[in-house]
Chains A and B, each alone.
Chain A
Amino acid sequence: MRAALRIAQQAAVPLVAILLGFLVAGVAVAITGADPSQAYLGLFQGAFTNKHAFTESLIASVPYVFLGLAVATGFRAGLFNIGADGQFYLGALGGVFVGFSIHGLPGIVHIPLAILAGVACGAVYGGLPGFLKARFGAHEVITTIMLNYIAYSLSDYLINRGPLGDPHSSAPKTPFIDPSAQLPIIFADSRLHLGLLLALLAVPLMWFLIERTTIGFRIRAVGLSPEAARSSGISVARTMVLVMAISGGLAGLAGADEVLGVSHFMPPSFSIGYGFDAIAVALLARSNPWGILPAAFLFGAMRNGAGFMQLQTQVSADMISIVQATVIMFVAAPVIVRWLLRLREVPAESLQITQPEGVGAAPKT
């Protein structure tokens, strides 16, 4: 009973933020002259009730689960990983390279190998800013943003007629991966692939890692207070590198999973801001691994439903971005939402993004 109440209280702010997001976006739609109720009806049908809609929403949610976990893990150690998008690219590059360059392996070997390559590429690329921070104090926000651009340019170079380009195509893309590297379809007459199960598995694993292991304890300790963690004998530097590597590895997993499960090849502009949407997913979930699931599903469903919404009402899919941006704004400023709701007694925990002392208690009115 108490637990249910606590969950309800924790979910109140995100839920209201989502509602406000839809409201604000609805106004924007109305201003452009379209009918918001029709738009949202189309969004709903496109995300849930149409043929293929639900499975496509699940497919679209998978990368958000991995990337949301990636950003959330960084948050737990007080690190802001803005580089998930770049790590996603590196993971996709690693996955696609192993996918198309090796032949003759059975799927049971080829798939894990390609996924591992993606995770490894992402982990190295994420670990690098962690190392730069631990060793030289370079702020991870700056370095991860910059590393994103390097990742974009690197994939552009490698794929646009570079060593990873498809010599038989005039389009800038990599060759198709071997059929043995493709993630199996788990639901007939759909594109729903094994990645969904991996995502569902990743959530409890990350929860266990963070909440129930020594490593997780160190991560949380560094997030709460690096000074205290240091005085109690935890190597803050090592923990930072490790967290960023785990975060990057998860983002890399998302990239590899998209290549192996959905596209089966990689074009140079592979993600339109997945890594940035993931920040919103993590914020919405309050960096709680379990919270990532509904948050990722919301984002995946919206992104998937947007296509049908546009077909029905010709409202641009960019409308989704307004919802997302508003949600972030209200989640990041929960004080506004709580004040609107006249919520006063909220456990300090539920305000956290990175640190419990961070945002402070509800203002007294």
Chain B
Amino acid sequence: MVSMRAFRAWMVGVMAVALIATACGGSSGSSTAGSSCSKTYKIGLVTDVGKLTDKSFNAASWQGVQQAASDKSLCVSAKYIESNQPTDYRKNMETFVDQSYDMIVAVGFLMADDTLAEAKAHPNVKFTIVDNAYDAAPSNLVGLVFKEDQAGYLIGALAGLLTKTNTVGQVLGLKIPPVQRYADGYLAGVKSTNPNAKVLTVYQGPGDGAAFNNPAWGQARANDEINQGADIVFGGGGNTGNGALIGALQKGKTCIGVDVDQYLSYPDAAKCLVTSAEKHLSVAVKTIITDAVQKKWPAATLTFDAKNNGVGIAPYHDYDSKVPADVKSKISEIEKKLADGSLQTGVTI
């Protein structure tokens, strides 16, 4: 009896502590503009269902927003809402609109239709969407797209220089334009530095239920390509590509990541990653925010390429000592030529 009463008292105590903790919690950590600003430009970011912890598109886009917010001269304040399900996209954008936000950043082509509808419904609010272009969009909506073929060209050139078997592979997601640009750029890059090299290419078929999300398939295809002699495998297709990286890792081969520096975002494959083909989503997002604040809102889709640091190649990390100096200098030379426009990838998709 006594112990029961003691326990009950203890439980009540726990609840009291909880109440106090509830009442005295810390403050929230959001990005706000400096006090010297006469007017703050309010930016709301809505993630797709991948949420901010995806270490990829959503994370990088929010990083771009934060970079803009920390630039005191822009006078930007920013908040985000993570979407739990696709039916939340419009609602979450609407929440920002209702709070009189000036600009809304939508992440990913999955939000394309909803963003277009919201932009049409609210012509006085600026909208931007990462990784999507529209055939016809209202003037307050700008898509941000990337020249993936240039990033693909860079890693292809590297693979062509590094291969010892004269065979390299790539395992890709669905054959949609951004993936195809990576793949064709990779092919062109390999051929530019090693015309005799064989490039093995495989796309996920349209019938695969787990588009961009079938690591087992990706790993099996990487194994196929390695069995056919490939010693470097490029995994370009979300989780499917991640499977290919793991396949290369387990066979002791070299792998190349995609979209972001996967050495950091996907440590499971860090040991085989020589580099990653990067889209600089944060650069793109910061650029469009700067344009909006400085009243230089673009008239059409913004394209990001090597010239405006929109695409690139990630650091070599652990491979730094294994990549010969002359290869490194060749790659940075190609990067410069792509940036100044003197070199074209030849990819026109």
Question: Residues of A at under 8 Å CB distance from B?
Answer: 20, 23-24, 26-27, 29-30, 33-38, 46, 50-52, 56, 153-154, 156-157, 160-162, 169-173, 191, 258, 262-263, 265, 267, 269-272, 303-304, 306-308, 310-317, 339-340, 365
A-B contact pairs, 22 of them (CB 8 A): A23-B22, A30-B26, A33-B26, A35-B28, A36-B25, A37-B25, A160-B211, A171-B113, A191-B90, A191-B91, A272-B49, A272-B84, A304-B91, A307-B88, A307-B91, A310-B81, A310-B82, A312-B79, A314-B80, A317-B82, A340-B12, A365-B4
Q: Which of B95-103, B143-151, B282-290, B324-332 contacts A (4 or more CB under 8 A)?
A: B95-103
Please report the C-alpha to C-alpha distance between residue A307 and residue B81 in the assembled complex, in whole angstroms.
6
Residue of B nearest to A269 (CB): B49
**B207 interface residue, CB < 8 Å from A?**
yes
Please report the C-alpha to C-alpha distance between residue A265 and residue B19 in the assembled complex, in whole angstroms.
44
Say whether A52 contacts B210, CB under 8 Å. no
Residue of A nearest to B110 (CB): A171
Q: Cβ of B94: which chain A residues have Cβ within 8 Å of it?
A: 52
**B29 interface residue, CB < 8 Å from A?**
yes
Question: Residues of B at under 8 Å CB distance from A?
Answer: 1, 4, 8, 11-12, 15, 18-19, 21-30, 44, 49, 79-82, 84-88, 90-92, 94-96, 98-99, 109-110, 112-113, 174, 176-177, 206-211
Most buried by A among B18, B99, B209: B209
Please report the C-alpha to C-alpha distance between residue A316 and residue B24 in the assembled complex, in whole angstroms.
19
Say whether B26 contacts A52, CB under 8 Å. no
- Apart from A154-B209, A365-B4, list 17 A-B contacts with CB within 8 A: A23-B22, A24-B18, A33-B25, A35-B28, A153-B209, A161-B174, A267-B110, A269-B85, A270-B86, A272-B49, A307-B88, A311-B44, A311-B80, A313-B30, A314-B80, A316-B82, A365-B1
Please report the C-alpha to C-alpha distance between residue A320 and residue B2 in the assembled complex, in whole angstroms.
37
Q: Cβ of B88: which chain A residues have Cβ within 8 Å of it?
A: 307
From B12, B79, B210, give the contact of A156 (CB < 8 A): B210
Please report the C-alpha to C-alpha distance between residue A151 and residue B101 in the assembled complex, in whole angstroms.
39
Q: Cβ of B87: which chain A residues have Cβ within 8 Å of it?
A: 258, 262-263, 270
Say whether B209 contacts A27, CB under 8 Å. no
Say whether B79 contacts A269, CB under 8 Å. no
Say whether A161 contacts B207, CB under 8 Å. yes
Known interface pairs A27-B18, A46-B95, A267-B86; A161-B211 also in contact (CB < 8 Å)? yes
Please report the C-alpha to C-alpha distance between residue A43 and residue B84 in the assembled complex, in whole angstroms.
15
Q: Cβ of B81: which chain A residues have Cβ within 8 Å of it?
A: 307, 310-311, 317
From A30, A35, A160, A314, give the contact of B209 (CB < 8 A): A160
Say whether A339 contacts B49, CB under 8 Å. no
Say whether A35 contacts B26, CB under 8 Å. yes
Residue of A nearest to B52 (CB): A316
Measured CB to CB, the closest approach of chain A to B221, in angstroms, equals 18
Known interface pairs A314-B79, A365-B1; A26-B18 also in contact (CB < 8 Å)? yes
Say whether A314 contacts B207, CB under 8 Å. no
Say whether B15 contacts A157, CB under 8 Å. no
Residue of A nearest to B114 (CB): A263
Say whether A313 contacts B28, CB under 8 Å. yes
Known interface pairs A52-B98, A263-B87; A23-B15 also in contact (CB < 8 Å)? yes
Residue of B nearest to A155 (CB): B209
Say whether B211 contacts A272, CB under 8 Å. no
Nearest 4 pairs of A and B residues by beta carbon: A157-B209, A26-B22, A161-B206, A30-B25
Please report the C-alpha to C-alpha distance between residue A130 and residue B12 in the assembled complex, in whole angstroms.
44
Say whether B209 contacts A50, CB under 8 Å. no
Residue of A nearest to B23 (CB): A37
Q: Cβ of B24: which chain A residues have Cβ within 8 Å of it?
A: 30
From B4, B25, B80, B113, give the contact of A310 (CB < 8 A): B80
Known interface pairs A26-B18, A26-B21; A263-B211 also in contact (CB < 8 Å)? no
Residue of A nearest to B22 (CB): A26
Say whether A160 contacts B85, CB under 8 Å. no
Please report the C-alpha to C-alpha distance between residue A29 and residue B29 in the assembled complex, in whole angstroms.
13
Say whether A311 contacts B96, CB under 8 Å. yes
Say whether A23 contacts B18, CB under 8 Å. yes
Please report the C-alpha to C-alpha distance between residue A38 and residue B25 in the assembled complex, in whole angstroms.
9
Measured CB to CB, the closest approach of chain A to B83, in angstroms, equals 8
From A51, A156, A173, A304, give the contact of B98 (CB < 8 A): A51
From A34, A157, A269, A339, give the contact of B207 (CB < 8 A): A157
Please report the C-alpha to C-alpha distance between residue A50 and residue B94 in the assembled complex, in whole angstroms.
11
Q: Cβ of A304: which chain B residues have Cβ within 8 Å of it?
A: 91
Please report the C-alpha to C-alpha distance between residue A156 and residue B109 in the assembled complex, in whole angstroms.
17
Say whether A34 contacts B91, CB under 8 Å. no
Q: Cβ of B8: which chain A residues have Cβ within 8 Å of it?
A: 339-340
Residue of B nearest to A40 (CB): B22
Q: Cβ of B11: which chain A residues have Cβ within 8 Å of it?
A: 340
Say whether A170 contacts B109, CB under 8 Å. yes
Say whether B84 contacts A303, CB under 8 Å. yes
Please report the C-alpha to C-alpha distance between residue A256 and residue B21 in the assembled complex, in whole angstroms.
43
Measured CB to CB, the closest approach of chain A to B133, in angstroms, equals 11
Say whether B86 contacts A269, CB under 8 Å. yes
Please report the C-alpha to C-alpha distance between residue A78 and residue B195 in the assembled complex, in whole angstroms.
70
Known interface pairs A160-B209, A161-B174, A339-B8; A171-B109 also in contact (CB < 8 Å)? yes
Residue of A nearest to B84 (CB): A272
Q: Cβ of B19: which chain A residues have Cβ within 8 Å of it?
A: 23
Say whether B25 contacts A311, CB under 8 Å. no
Say whether A30 contacts B84, CB under 8 Å. no
Q: Cβ of A313: which chain B residues have Cβ within 8 Å of it?
A: 28, 30
Q: Cβ of A172: which chain B residues have Cβ within 8 Å of it?
A: 110, 211
Please report the C-alpha to C-alpha distance between residue A30 and residue B21 in the assembled complex, in whole angstroms.
6
Measured CB to CB, the closest approach of chain B to A274, in angstroms, equals 8
Say whether A307 contacts B22, CB under 8 Å. no
Please report the C-alpha to C-alpha distance between residue A20 and residue B15 in the assembled complex, in whole angstroms.
8
Most buried by B among A153, A170, A269: A170
Measured CB to CB, the closest approach of chain A to B78, in angstroms, equals 10
